[in-house]
Chains A and B, each alone.
Chain A
Amino acid sequence: MRIRHSTKSGETKVEIQMTPMIDIVFQLLVFFIMTFKIVSQEGDFNIKMPLAAPSEGLPDDDALPPMKVRLRADAGGNPAGIMLNDKAFSDWRSLNDYMIGIIGNERGPGSIQETAEVELDCDYNLRYEHVVNAITAVSGFVDDSGSIVKLVEKIKFAPPRPAGS
């Protein structure tokens, strides 16, 4: 009688070595997890400020004069006074509401929104985050639908005040 071995029956089972692949895959996974960092989005406020820009002829009649935003700081660098053309504001919200009232809903070429300009005049020791708050207040707002409505886009700085002012 002949006894057949099961291994010689023709159905050869090829076993793939999974260990090296799993090793590498886990190494990749660990690498990506370690280097993963949630980065919040960043954005820019554009400012065009040539040095001592020569006045190019007379300004347009319909153009608004630059609105001067004066920011005073206390000893700690926090805002001690917010003024727009001699009108005082208690917080950024009220400044933003006032700007919305000035600019109105008109958009497009030649509109107030396009021609208006804001000049920031800040104390030397004012903390920078308040400057960004001021720029945010004058340059736009987020409406109910979550989209950004732009107000004044031309922003510049007044000549720097001396330290200790």
Chain B
Amino acid sequence: MRLTTKKTSDMAEGDLTPMIDMTFQLIAFFMVLINFTQSEQNEKIQLPESTLAKPPDKPMDYPVTLHLTKEGTVIIGGQEVFMEGLKPYLQKEAYVLESQNRPLTEATIIIRAHRDAQTGKVQELIKVCQENRFETFALRAKEDVGN
């Protein structure tokens, strides 16, 4: 009597290895490129472009980011305030810095102003910061990569 030991399997198994390889590569790619430092950005602000705008070599000691909208309002820490209402927020920043026994000159006010904002508003913003004893400013611009 002859017995057939080989059974033909009726289940077609696809080879998943290449797909998993590719998927993991894609995940690794996106994980490396993901940028969590978008908290200081604001979608209302369209920065002006400059060919000289390059990221700084080292991070600032104590950055305070102020967004100036096209309408002339200021966004600080997610709160949109008028120029006149900015003083308490700046005083709070100054207080935090002084409680760490650090001079206010260490703080840098990063001004992210909308490209269509009025220059006078930017100067008013600088003046308000100066009145609160801040004196180092950084005008932020977007890197101009085109043409």
Determine whether the beta carbon of A125 is less than 8 Å from that of B16: no
Task: Judge whether A18 is part of the interface by a CB distance below 8 angstroms.
Answer: yes
Contact of B52 among A28, A32, A127, A148 (CB under 8 A): A148
| B contact residues, total (Cβ < 8 Å) | 56
Minimal beta-carbon separation of B40 from chain A (angstroms): 9
Task: State the Cβ distance, B69 to closest chain A Cβ, in Å.
Answer: 11
Chain B residues contacting A46 (CB-CB under 8 Å) are 108, 136-138
A36 partner residues in chain B, CB cutoff 8 A: 30, 33-34
B interface, over-half SS: mixed
Contacts of A18 in B (CB 8 A): 16, 20
Q: Is the CB of A51 within 8 A of B114?
A: no
**Minimal beta-carbon separation of A165 from chain B (angstroms):** 8
User: What separation, in Å, do the CA atoms of A32 and B68 have in the docked complex?
Assistant: 30
Shortest CB distance B74–A (Å): 14
- Min CB gap B108→A, angstroms: 8
Residues of A in contact, count (CB < 8 Å): 54
Q: In the complex, what residues of A have CB within 8 A of residue B143's CB?
A: 40-43
Once the chains bind, are A132 and B130 in contact (CB under 8 Å)?
A: no
Chain A residues whose CB sits within 8 angstroms of the CB of B114 once the complex forms: 128
State which of B23, B35, B48 has its C-beta within 8 Å of the C-beta of A26: B23
B67 / chain A contacts, CB cutoff of 8 Å: none
Contact A122 B138 (CB under 8 A): no
CB pair B123 A160 closer than 8 Å: yes
The answer to whether B94 has its CB under 8 Å from any CB of chain A is no
The majority secondary structure among interface residues of chain A is mixed
* Contact between chains at A1 and B31 (CB < 8 Å): no
Within 8 A of B (CB), among A1-46: 1, 3, 6, 18, 21-22, 25-26, 28-29, 32-33, 35-37, 39-46
User: Residue on A with the closest CB to B40?
Assistant: A42
In the complex formed, the residue of B with least CB distance to A25 is: B23
- Contacts A125-B120, A136-B51 given; does A32 touch B137 at CB 8 Å: no
Interface residues of A in 116-165 (CB under 8 A from B): 122-133, 135-136, 139-142, 148, 157, 160-161, 163
**Told that A18-B20, A44-B138 touch, could you supply 7 new A-B pairs with CB distance under 8 A?**
A25-B27, A42-B55, A44-B140, A51-B133, A127-B117, A129-B49, A140-B52
| Interface residue ranges, A against B (CB under 8 Å) | 1, 3, 6, 18, 21-22, 25-26, 28-29, 32-33, 35-37, 39-51, 71, 73, 77, 122-133, 135-136, 139-142, 148, 157, 160-161, 163
Q: List 18 A-B contacts (CB under 8 A).
A: A1-B1, A6-B7, A29-B26, A33-B30, A36-B30, A39-B41, A42-B53, A43-B141, A44-B53, A44-B139, A45-B53, A46-B138, A48-B136, A77-B116, A127-B118, A128-B48, A128-B68, A129-B116
